Amino acid sequence: MSNTLSRRDFSKLLLSGVAGSALGLFGTSKSAFASTKRVVVIGGGFGGATAAKYLRKLDPSIHVTLVEPKAVYYTCPLSNWVLGGLKTMDDIAHTYAVLKGKYQVNIVPEVVIGIDMVKNTVKLKNGKTLGYDRLIVAPGIDFKYDAIEGYSESVANSQMPHAWQAGSQTTLLQKQLLDMKNGGRVFICAPANPFRCPPGPYERASLIAAYLKAAKPLSKVIILDAKDKFSKQGLFKKGWDRLYPGMIEWRSVALGGKVLKVDAGAMTITTELGVEKGDVINLIPPQRAGKIAVDAALTDATGWCPINPVSFESTLHPGIHVIGDASLAGAMPKSGFAASSQGKVAAAAIVRLFQGKVPAAPSLVNTCYSLLAADYGVSVAGVYKLAVDGIVEIKGAGGLTPLDADDNQLRQEAMFAQGWYQNISQDIWG
């Protein structure tokens, strides 16, 4: 990537935005003191929609355009609750009506096909272009379908859904579970780190087991994992023993959990230990930053986007901020909560940069609730600070629901999980 930076690009990097204004070396860099204040946001998920709303809320003189092809956005958080029969797809659906009406965000239902970093424009699939003074890229994740032999996007859309972007994939997996016979075997194939929503596969196993326990009690859930440990492991394993004894089996890498190959026609999975046949196979492939971030060369060799943690401005392309799952945000997990927290930090930083000021030190937070049953919730929290080597977790803060939490606390956490979803949805799209 860096060897394609022209001399002009490099000068622009030094002169523009954050670097120039923070160091006080260059008085009048273009994007820090632009006469117009136009921000284009690519992606209307947890990160992008938050940034769009908060830019308008913090400084109504900023003109904000949100480019998102989907008219209805289905959230990944709570999509496992849909699979467990606790929520419907309508419960996790959000639109951009309030952002448009109340916050006057210009909503453009289009796909971005390119970014011109010299002209500061975004090219849309319909042929039109949008100019920006600062750009926020919040494309979420994309899947490395070719990482597993026999898997592909068309296999995901037919026999083996990933359901790791909510919507038709969630509905497909749900239908397969509903159609499955009593005594069937459900496989959940979880990827290695890093990936979107670290506790997600295990919440999914729990809530699928909740459905099966009630409707098809002879069935089993088997997690094939490309890891040797996972998020909230102690809490999940304890909960599974209590709630679903004998129903959920977790196979680590050491126990042959890594998926080498799948056969969609035969509905089989090949691991180091042999071939398994599944009735439902939910394969969550390895991931990288969303396509536009890759196409625009905002990613590094990891497949994710390096950023300056003060403002979430790309360290590869000045004037472009990358937030959410696509970014390399140090100790922060790839969660909807984290993306929204980053969206606020980026919005506040951009407001300051337009004023020619140094951004405030960021305050970043995460809370991930997971449900094991309707009245059984656990959480992990983190508060983050900026250190010289990036975003780190503040020691002594954050952490997990205690392993010895009583039923009352587990019930309260389940209640707060739902409360959190209602409020963060309202904070972002409402």
Partner 1 sequence: MAVKPEIRLTASALIFAVIAAGSSALPGDCRASSNSAKNATARQSESSPRGQILALSCASCHGTDGKSSSVIPTINGRSVEYIETALKGYKSGDRPSTVMARHAKGYTDEELRLISEYFGTLSTTNK
Which secondary-structure segment (H or E) carries 208? helix 200-215
CA distance 134 to 72: 26
Residues that bind partner 1 (CB under 8 A): 2-3, 5, 10, 13-14, 18-19, 22-23, 54, 57-59, 308-310, 315-316, 337, 340-341, 344-345, 348, 351-352, 358-365, 367, 379, 381, 383, 386-388, 394, 396-399, 401, 409, 412-413, 415-416, 418-420, 422-424, 426-427, 430
10 Å Cβ neighbour count for 321? Answer: 34
Considering the complex, what minimum distance in angstroms separates the CB of residue 309 from partner 1?
A: 7
CA distance 89 to 79: 8
Considering the complex, what minimum distance in angstroms separates the CB of residue 178 from partner 1?
A: 29
Using the minimum distance from each CB to partner 1, give the nearer residue, 105 or 205: 105
Using the minimum distance from each CB to partner 1, give the nearer residue, 34 or 381: 381
What b-and-e string marks burial along 64-73, b requiring 16 or more CB atoms within 10 Å of the CB?
A: bbbbbeeeeb
Using the minimum distance from each CB to partner 1, give the nearer residue, 289 or 414: 414
Considering the complex, what minimum distance in angstroms separates the CB of residue 1 from partner 1?
A: 9
Q: Listing from the earlier edge strand, what are the strands of the sheet with 248-251?
A: 248-251, 220-225, 185-190, 280-283
Considering the complex, what minimum distance in angstroms separates the CB of residue 21 from partner 1?
A: 9
Using the minimum distance from each CB to partner 1, give the nearer residue, 168 or 426: 426
Beta strands in 151-310 (DSSP E): 185-190, 220-225, 248-251, 259-263, 268-271, 274-277, 280-283, 287-289, 305-308
10 Å Cβ neighbour count for 25? Answer: 11
Considering the complex, what minimum distance in angstroms separates the CB of residue 168 from partner 1?
A: 28
CA distance 426 to 52: 14
Using the minimum distance from each CB to partner 1, give the nearer residue, 266 or 361: 361
Measured in whole angstroms, the distance separating CA 53 from the mean position of its chain's CA atoms is: 18
Using the minimum distance from each CB to partner 1, give the nearer residue, 22 or 111: 22
Considering the complex, what minimum distance in angstroms separates the CB of residue 313 from partner 1?
A: 9
